């Protein structure tokens, strides 16, 4: 519940607004697949999940040892 009311930003609010608009338009036109897509989009905005969420697409950085960077790499030729 705490996550639902905090960390709101422009993209999250925009997804919620667009989701509600899609739901209303889908119900008015009796296109319930569109309404379902609006429910999914609104649900993602409310729960703050998906790629636009906090660190959703972030790739973790690998920490390298400074000694390995300084070490010269040698290659062998295989016949």
Question: Does 79 map to a domain?
Answer: no
- Nearest to residue 4, comparing CAs of 49, 66, 67, 55? 49
Q: Look at residue 37 in the predicted model and tell me its pLDDT.
A: 93
Print the SS3 string covering 3-65: HHHCCCCHHHHHHHHHHHHHHHHHHHCCCHHHHHHHHHHHHHHHHCCCCCCCCCCCCCCCCCC
Question: Does 18 map to a domain?
Answer: yes
Question: Does 62 map to a domain?
Answer: no
> What would the two tokens of residue 75 be?
């290659």
Split into its structural domains, the chain has a count of 1
> What would the two tokens of residue 21 be?
């608009």
Q: Look at residue 60 in the predicted model and tell me its pLDDT.
A: 65
Q: Look at residue 49 in the predicted model and tell me its pLDDT.
A: 79
Question: Does 19 map to a domain?
Answer: yes
- Residue 50 belongs to domain spanning: 2-57
pTM of the entire structure?
0.60
Give pLDDT tens digits for 23-74. Answer: 999 999 999 999 999 999 999 888 877 765 555 566 666 676 666 666 677 7
């Amino acid at each position: 519940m705490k996550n639902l009311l905090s960390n709101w930003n422009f993209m999250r609010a925009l997804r919620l607004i667009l989701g509600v608009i899609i739901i209303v338009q889908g119900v008015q036109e009796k296109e319930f697949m569109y309404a379902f897509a609006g429910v999914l989009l609104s649900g993602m905005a409310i729960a703050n999940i998906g790629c636009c969420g906090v660190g959703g697409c972030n790739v973790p950085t690998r920490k390298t040892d400074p000694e390995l960077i300084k070490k010269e790499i040698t290659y062998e030729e295989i016949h």
